[in-house]
A and B are shown apart, each in its own frame.
Chain A
Amino acid sequence: MSAASATSAYAPRTGGSRQLAGSGTLLRFALRRDRVMLPVWIAVNALMVLSMPNTLKGLYGTAAERADLIRQMETNASLRALIGPVFGDSLGALTAWRAGIYAGALAAVMSLIVVVRHTRDEEESGRQEMVSSGAVGRRAPLTAALLAAAVANGVLALLLVGGLAGQGGAGALALGLGIAGVGMVFATMAAIIAQLTESARLARGLTAAVLGAAFVLRAAGDSAKDDGSSVLTWLSPLGWLENLRAFADERWWVLLLFAAAILLQGAVAYELAGRRDVGMSFLPTRPGPANGRLSTAGALAWRLQRGSVLGWSIGFFLTGVVYGGLTEGAADLVGDNANAREIFERMGGQSGLTNAFLAAMIGMLGLIAALYIVSSVLRLNGEETSGRAEPVLANAVGRLRWAAGHLVVAFGGTALIMLLAGLGFAIGYGKEFGPILGACLVQLPAVWVIGGVAVLLHGLLPRAAVAAWAVAGAVLLIGWIGPALNVPQAVLDVSPFGHLPKLPGGEMEWGPVLLLTAIAAALVAGGLGALRRRDLTT
Chain B
Amino acid sequence: MTKAITVSGLHKSFGRTHALDGLDLDVETGEVHGFLGPNGAGKSTTIRVLLGLLRADSGAAQVLGRDPWADAVDLHRRVAYVPGDVTLWRNLSGGEVIDLYGRLHDGGRAKRVRQGGGGRRAGGLDRERRAKLIERFELDPTKKGRTYSKGNRQKVALVAAFASDVDLLILDEPTSGLDPLMEEVFQTCVEEERDRGRTVLLSSHILSEVEELCDRVSIIRKGRTVESGSLADLRHLTRTSVTAELAGPPNGLSHLPGVHDLDVQGLRVRLQVDTDKLDAVLRSLSESGVRSLTSTPPTLEELFLRHYQDEESASEGAKGAAGAPGAEGAEGAMVR
Contacts and interface: CB of A to CB of B under 8 A. Distances in A.
A290 B77 CA distance: 24
Interface residue SS majority, chain A = loop
B93 A386 contact: no
Contacts of B123: 292, 295
Contact of B107 (A198, A387, A397): A397
Interface in A68-94: none
Interface string B117-149: 000000110000000000000001111101100
Contact of B157 (A198, A295, A391): A391
Interface residues of B, number: 51
Contact of A124 (B90, B100, B101): B90
A286 B143 CA distance: 8
A523 to B, nearest CB: 23
Interface stretch (A42-50, A297-305, A492-500): A297-305
Q: B85, B101, B124, B157 — which one has the most chain A CB atoms within 10 A of its CB?
A: B101
Interface string B69-111: 0001110110101110111111111111111110111111001
Given A287-B93, A390-B53, A292 B104 contact: no
Interface string A391-403: 1111111100000
Contacts of A396: 73-74, 76-77, 104-107
Contacts of A394: 51, 53, 76, 79, 81, 170
A16 interface: no
Contact of B99 (A124, A292, A386): A292
A334 B93 CA distance: 54
Nearest to B77: A396
Nearest to B130: A291
A536 B54 contact: yes
A292 B87 contact: no
Contacts of A393: 51-53, 72, 76
Contacts of B140: 287
Contacts of B51: 393-394
B104 A296 contact: yes
Given A287-B142, A287-B143, A292-B95, A395 B83 contact: no
B100 A288 contact: no
Contact of B141 (A290, A390, A397): A290
A280 to B, nearest CB: 10
Nearest to B85: A387
B145 to A, nearest CB: 9
Contacts of B66: none
A150 B88 CA distance: 35
B89 A293 contact: no
Interface string A254-288: 00000000000000000000000000000001111
B96 A289 contact: yes
B53 A536 contact: yes
Nearest to A386: B87
A119 interface: no
A198 B101 contact: no
A395 B90 contact: no
Contacts of A287: 93, 140, 142-144
B73 A398 contact: yes
B93 A391 contact: no
B53 A288 contact: no
Nearest to A393: B53
* Interface residue tally on A, bucketed by range: 35 or more
B95 A288 contact: yes
B88 A124 contact: no
A289 B95 CA distance: 7
B96 A397 contact: no
Contacts of A534: 55
A165 interface: no
Given A287-B144, A397-B107, A391 B101 contact: yes
A124 B142 CA distance: 19
Given A295-B111, A295-B123, A303-B92, A289 B142 contact: yes
B48 interface: yes
A293 B97 CA distance: 9
A349 B268 CA distance: 102
Contacts of A297: 104
A518 interface: no
Contacts of B82: 391
Given A290-B93, A391-B81, A397 B144 contact: no
Contacts of A390: 48, 53, 83
A388 B89 contact: yes
A534 B79 CA distance: 22
A538 interface: yes
Contacts of B98: 292
B96 A296 contact: no
A535 interface: yes
B143 A199 contact: no
A386 B76 CA distance: 21
Contacts of B54: 535-536
A536 B50 CA distance: 13
Nearest to B124: A295
B87 A387 contact: yes
A31 to B, nearest CB: 28
6 contacts: A292-B92, A388-B89, A392-B104, A393-B53, A393-B76, A397-B107
Interface of B: 44, 48, 51-55, 72-74, 76-77, 79, 81-83, 85-101, 103-108, 111, 123-124, 140-144, 146-147, 157, 170
The 10 closest A-B CB pairs, nearest first, are: A288-B93, A292-B96, A292-B99, A395-B104, A295-B103, A287-B142, A394-B81, A396-B107, A290-B95, A536-B53
